[in-house]
Amino acid sequence: MGTYPRDLEGYGQTVPNAAWPGGAKVAVQFVLNYEEGGENNLLHGDDASEAFLSEIVGAAAWPGQRHWNMESIYEYGARAGFWRLHRLFTEAGIPLTVYGVATALARSPSQVKAMQEADWEIASHGLKWIEHKDMTEAEELAQIVEAIRLHAEVTGEAPRGWYTGRCSMNTVGLVAARGDFDYISDSYADDLPYWMEAGEHDQLIIPYTLDANDMRFATPQGFNTGEQFFQYLKDSFDGLYAEGAAGRPAMMSVGLHCRLTGRPGRAAGLKRFIEYAQSHSDVWFARRIEIAEHWKANFPHKRWERPGAMSRERFVECFGGIFENSPWIAEQAFDLERGPAHDTATGLHNALTRIFRSASQAERLGVLNAHPDLAGKLAQAKRLTENSTSEQASAGLDALTDAERSSFEALNAEYVAKHGFPFIIAVRDHDKAGILAAFQRRIGNDRETEMAEACRQVERITELRLKDLLP
């Protein structure tokens, strides 16, 4: 495969402190998907009726026919469900982000006016509420362009956020390439916003949710009652609130649909959750655009030269010396399947050490013998590599007394005569006394044990070197 495109690393163990306004422990963000009037329908020029996310679980599309029951279920969302949720959130004083399908918004002027009067953000949910997976790139791009045009015409301003939902593998790239969206939400990959590089453009991604989402009322083994919905939202909130109290504040997204949670029994469960969340201090109820603005101001994207984007020549130039005088390791590692996870020190170290570990014993012995003696003649003659010079200096091996130098020379000679390769230790993990103690202890090991230990030390040395170069 060569380059592996998926990012399985994310923030890893170094999750940033989101520093939400007011020191909030969690940012709670509600999304209302407005899709009614934009779904599959012969009236909209589609080939079949809608079959997704309704009371008819497992419904099938009706090719060439209108589906009266499905249409009326969607109509309920616009006619009744929207207004119930509108009252609920305006009375609670909680701002929303609306994912608005452009054609649905165009067919619902009263609802659009109510959204705007409530100061809700209206992000784009595409042109129509249909599948995009089988569209050509040109066809999908045309839909994106028309969605933006119609959205601006209906609402008075272009959308700043985007979420297709029923997207293709091309959607995010096509939207990001435009460079005019504050955020894209076609991702479920994290609890925090993150950046994506789209050519020269740095695109903010604010992940959405399919778990804390009322769509599970319309799926097998999903929510059956408002109480189940409330309990799941409460558990999610409690977990994130506790993490925020521990210094790792994150974001909780809640996804809603007018025709689903807009039903009274489900709205009751949502109301209980709103009251529960509002009973806590240090909670930020935000629109997604406000989360985007906060993230851009506090966590601007920083680019670096990524190993995954390097040519073979540049890769070997940068990393050919990580294993002492052994560029062949970098040359072979370049050909491994590598992805974004290998653009970090930990990830690239794993790739390089795979080559080292799978090499023959003779090849690994060659790597060991490429290392200089500690405080040996090459060091005295200032003929070490730049890495070895700084490493030995870090432990004070460039400033030995005559007695210390004599001890190192004797130990070096005895060690090499016994094992057939120089004594290797990650000197940056030790001081001078610790190095001498390890030298005296390890010199008595048998050759097999000592070669295994020397190889472990080589891997540690290379890990430290990579940490000097990469995040």
Two tokens at 90? Answer: 């305006």
Please tell me the distance from the alpha carbon of residue 336 to that of residue 345, in angstroms, as a whole number.
Answer: 16
With CA atoms as reference, report the closest residue to 306 among 330, 273, 268, 339: 339
**Are 41 and 66 in contact, with CB atoms under 8 Å apart?**
yes
Grouping H, G, I as helix, E, B as strand and the rest as coil, residue 184 is strand
**Are 35 and 12 in contact, with CB atoms under 8 Å apart?**
no
Grouping H, G, I as helix, E, B as strand and the rest as coil, residue 99 is strand
Segment 452-457 long-range contacts (CB within 8 Å, at least 24 positions apart): 454/368, 454/421, 454/423, 454/424, 455/356, 455/364, 455/368, 457/424, 457/425, 457/426
Please tell me the distance from the alpha carbon of residue 17 to that of residue 159, in angstroms, as a whole number.
Answer: 28
**Are 53 and 215 in contact, with CB atoms under 8 Å apart?**
yes
Please tell me the distance from the alpha carbon of residue 445 to that of residue 195, in angstroms, as a whole number.
Answer: 50
Segment 54-63 long-range contacts (CB within 8 Å, at least 24 positions apart): 54/218, 54/259, 55/218, 55/259, 57/218, 57/219, 57/220, 58/220
Please tell me the distance from the alpha carbon of residue 283 to that of residue 172, in angstroms, as a whole number.
Answer: 30
Please tell me the distance from the alpha carbon of residue 84 to that of residue 65, in angstroms, as a whole number.
Answer: 31
Amino acid, single-letter form, for residue 332: Q
Please tell me the distance from the alpha carbon of residue 386 to that of residue 365, in angstroms, as a whole number.
Answer: 22
Q: Point out the catalytic residue in the list 44, 371, 419, 430.
A: 371
Which phi and psi angles does 400 have, rounded to 5°? -90, 150
Please tell me the distance from the alpha carbon of residue 205 to that of residue 176, in angstroms, as a whole number.
Answer: 10
Q: How many residues does the chain have?
A: 471
Amino acid, single-letter form, for residue 355: I
Rg from Cα positions in the chain: 30
Please tell me the distance from the alpha carbon of residue 167 to that of residue 170, in angstroms, as a whole number.
Answer: 8
**371 assigned to active site:** yes
Two tokens at 355? Answer: 């080559």
With CA atoms as reference, report the closest residue to 418 among 376, 455, 440, 447: 447
Exposure string of 288-302, with b = 16+ CB inside 10 Å and e = fewer, is bbbbbbbbbeebeee
Beta bridge partners of 162: 124, 184
Active site amino acids: 371
